[in-house]
Amino acid sequence: MNELSNSSLHVAVIQMDVKIGDPSSNYQHIERLLDEAVDSSGIASFTKPDVIVLPEMWNTGYALTELADIADEQGVRTRGMLSAFAKHHQVNIVAGSVAVKQADGTFANRSFVFNRNGEVVHHYDKLHLFRLMDEEQFLQQGVHSGEFRMDDISFGIMICYDIRFPELARKLALGGAQILFVPAQWPNPRKNHWRTLLQARAIENQMYVVACNRVGVSGDTSFFGSSMVIDPWGEVLAEGGEQEQILRTTIDLELVTNVRKRIPIFADRRPELY
């Protein structure tokens, strides 16, 4: 099946721990979790996911000073592994983000998106670099926003700190995005910011938000998980805890259309004044 047969989209969000500076362990770990995401064993009423979502910088963690040795060279390892998995299982993958070494020797915090045929249909480099984690000292910021289509649906993607910039989410919504993906490594103690910002992006743009955060500890920084799926009314459909888990839920795309008709915020905008 190459496209959805109805308006339902089944999503699996992989909330995982990441070993900082240890790509080999992280790639092995993500392979196990991907297998679990499509395995129906022991799950009552299992529905195979249409989309699997991963967290931010899952291949290296924030070992930014080591990127010359551990970043994925032009994304070859990531693309090879996830392309094969997506094609074999006929599943779309929003691959969180990985540290990538570019052809010019610089580094990017990059998200790849794979369709059911294993093809890369989009890649997005984080636009806003987070100074509190020194990203701007080691990474090149992106230059393109994250609009893409898959299964004949319009999507958008933002990475972690990007959600503090509502202009970007609005651009994606105006471009037709019905679902916004947000891979992240959002740490303690800012859990309230995480929940509030994600719900705000969903409500103000009348779209689903699917956010995948990591768990665990890296150095002095701990991560609380709370991966979330939020509907266009801002209601939380599913939320993870603070441990590794696979969050599963079903999205009804017709709700986006219904909410946008009921409260026509896009028609009532006055961009000539702001």
- Above 60 in pLDDT, residue 6? yes
CA–CA distance from 178 to each of 14, 113, 231 (Å)? 21, 16, 10
Question: What was the pLDDT predicted at 138?
Answer: 98
pLDDT (mean) for 210-238: 97
Q: Where are the alpha helices (DSSP H) in 122-225?
A: 135-138, 166-174, 191-205
Question: What was the pLDDT predicted at 169?
Answer: 98
> Tell me: the pLDDT tens digits for 82-115?
999 999 999 999 999 999 999 999 999 999 999 9
pLDDT (mean) for 204-210: 98
User: Which residues have a catalytic role annotated?
Assistant: 56, 126, 160
CA–CA distance from 247 to each of 15, 123, 224, 239 (Å)? 7, 24, 15, 7
- Above 80 in pLDDT, residue 2? no
pLDDT (mean) for 56-81: 98
Question: What was the pLDDT predicted at 68?
Answer: 97
Question: What was the pLDDT predicted at 45?
Answer: 79
pLDDT confidence tier of residue 183, bands split at 50, 70 and 90 = very high
CA distance 170 to 180: 11
Query: Do you find a cis peptide bond into 49, omega within 30 degrees of 0?
Result: no
- Above 90 in pLDDT, residue 175? yes
- Above 90 in pLDDT, residue 5? no
Question: What was the pLDDT predicted at 171?
Answer: 97
pLDDT (mean) for 205-218: 97
Question: Which secondary-structure segment (H or E) carries 51?
Answer: strand 51-53
Question: What was the pLDDT predicted at 7?
Answer: 87
What is the crossing angle of helices 166-174 and 191-205, to 10°? Answer: 30
CATH code of the region 9-262: 3.60.110.10
Question: What was the pLDDT predicted at 1?
Answer: 37
> Tell me: the pLDDT tens digits for 241-274?
999 999 999 999 999 999 999 999 999 999 999 9
> Tell me: the pLDDT tens digits for 118-159?
999 999 999 999 998 899 999 999 999 999 999 999 999 999
**For the purposes of burial, counting CB atoms within 10 Å of the CB of 270, is it exposed (0-12), middle (13-18) or buried (19 or more)?**
exposed
Provide, rounded to the nearest whole percent, the portion of the chain with pLDDT above 90: 93
pTM equals 0.96
- Above 60 in pLDDT, residue 177? yes
- Above 80 in pLDDT, residue 3? no
